[in-house]
Amino acid sequence: MVAGDGSTGSGPVGSTFSPFARRLFRMVSKQEEGVSSKVVMAAVKVMQQLVAAKEGRSLFMQVGTASECIRWMRTWLVSRRRSESAELMVHTLKFLITASAHAEIQAAILQAADFNTWMREMIEVFTRAREAEAKARPALSISKYNRTSGARLRANAQPTRRLPGRVVTHRPGGGDSLAHADVRELTALLLRNLALHRGNKNILVASDGNLKFLLSELASENIKVVAACSAAIWVVLHHCSRAKSALVRLGARAKVRGAARRMEELATSPTAPAFLAGLPSFERTIRHLAMVDALLEE
């Protein structure tokens, strides 16, 4: 690889590689004509590596990738091809999470014209799915696990709950692919990253929707979702008095303590899945919930 001069940069994204990198950013952000979703997802994976370099982040900013990614994610929310759109959403969220480890890209994402609208629309999708799940739950026969063989028993051939910590992929009435646990987890992780810079906290707290989403998902059956939301709440709350006031007003204490009780009961349950023992995300979740509770009491 030929390194660029001082004006074009050197390293992974030098003058020779820059046109290719720029095409990748445009391919994903603008969905070029004739590009398949598989190609887009492959490009996203490459770009996750590119933004680790300063030159890659510069290209991200120049091409307006943040705004375009958010604009396209809004179109996926209303797409009829839910499964494909969900897959694209997951890969794009992973890319933005990687990119948002850097302050300049955090600002670009938050300043995107459609960011607040996209977050509101995402939360509406999650809320509708939760409400549909709640309506369908009484009609479901909750699955049980055979303690001797560990086999899953299905009643009336209905989809069953997954083990805690794994993605819930379908449930009658709540089967929207764009509301899957992995999408909710990644949305929470993006909010967590955006809140890492103290100057961004007030922007995120300005919308009650962001905090309501994080608090409501503390009741999720999926441990990874609870882990991501508890971490995001802790980051937003740390050194932000405005966040504390908003969380208290939204009834955060009861929700945080309820989630903590569920985690503790699961940790001490003799029938808890064996993989929970020593699971880092599970242990971190318990710590984050305890720290959030302590900060809310100060």
User: In this predicted model, what pLDDT tens digit does every residue of 146-158 receive, in sequence order?
Assistant: 332 233 323 322 3
Q: Which of the four CATH numbers 1.25.10, 2.60.40, 3.30.519, 3.30.110 does domain 115-136+168-297 have?
A: 1.25.10
- Residue 235 belongs to what H/E stretch? helix 223-237
What does the pLDDT read at residue 34?
60
Q: How far apart are CA 108 and CA 66, in angstroms?
A: 6
Closest CA to 204 of 240, 168, 248, 172: 240
Query: What token pair was written down for 113?
Result: 């014209």
Give the tokens for residue 71: 């604009």
Instruction: Please tell me the predicted confidence (pLDDT) of residue 163.
Output: 37
DSSP conformation class of 276? G
Percent with pLDDT over 90 in the chain: 33
Residues in CB range of 175: below 8 A, 6 or more apart: none
- Which two three-digit tokens encode residue 199? 């100057």
Spans in the chain with pLDDT lower than 50 = 1-14, 139-174
Q: What does the alpha-carbon distance between residue 245 and residue 242 come to, in Å, rounded to a whole number?
A: 5
* Domain chopping of the chain, boundaries: 115-136+168-297
**pLDDT the model gives residue 28:** 66
Query: pTM of the entire structure?
Result: 0.79
Please give the pLDDT value at position 146.
31
